[in-house]
Structure 1
């Protein structure tokens, strides 16, 4: 079964996103930061989508996206869920293959259609 990786250093946000996805019958794997996110991408071949924060300790989300492409050769779609709206950060994300940029707070009902679309691709 396809899984979604939720990466956020805030347990509150991570748990809320994961709970919403599970309520919509989706399988969820979580990580506390970008470093753990990369480990989860290596560990679980069934991850088909990543929802990731940008600002995290140990490894930020943009670095994780870049490393997932360059080091892991992973082409899983990534959506950034962040408080950041800086155009330079968005450009960096786009260059790393980020498919979407959602400004917090998380609005599950507003993006569930896009999530299903990315999982089906």
Structure 2
């Protein structure tokens, strides 16, 4: 059974690129259009990894991470930020919220897969 990944981003093109990259490597991917949609889908399913953007309508990435970390099934699930934000203060906020790692857009598909393999195999 393939590992399952939830990708949360308000940019359809980014979601498509992430999904294409991950599915090509054999992962099962579910897309969410913003943080609230991501939280709803996370509650309804069980994912091995979550990718989230930071700047989204309805709920931003850091709020999503905090909400996920509050759910028993996501206490230890790897959560990676995939965002244009690269400032140290924002990264510190992400770590404090419970982010496992940080990737900056635009991303290199090979680098993305390396990180995924490192955190979930």
TM-score (norm 2): 0.92
Superposition map of 1:90-109 within 5 A: 90-109=91-110
In structure 2, C-alpha distance between the alignment counterparts of 1:114 and 1:85, rounded to whole Å: 17
Structure 1 stretches of 4+ with a deviation exceeding 6 A read none
Query: What SS class does the counterpart of residue 18 from structure 1 fall into?
Result: helix
In structure 2, C-alpha distance between the alignment counterparts of 1:106 and 1:53, rounded to whole Å: 12
Aligned length: 118
1:38-86 Cα offsets, whole Å, 9 max, x none, are: 11111112x010111000000001100011112x232211110111012
In structure 2, C-alpha distance between the alignment counterparts of 1:117 and 1:100, rounded to whole Å: 11
Q: Which runs of 5+ in 2 are unaligned?
A: none
Preserved CA contact (<8 Å) 1:17 1:106:
no
Counterpart residue number, 2:50: 50
TM-score (norm 1): 0.92
Query: What SS class does the counterpart of residue 31 from structure 2 fall into?
Result: strand
In structure 1, C-alpha distance between the alignment counterparts of 2:57 and 2:102, rounded to whole Å: 20
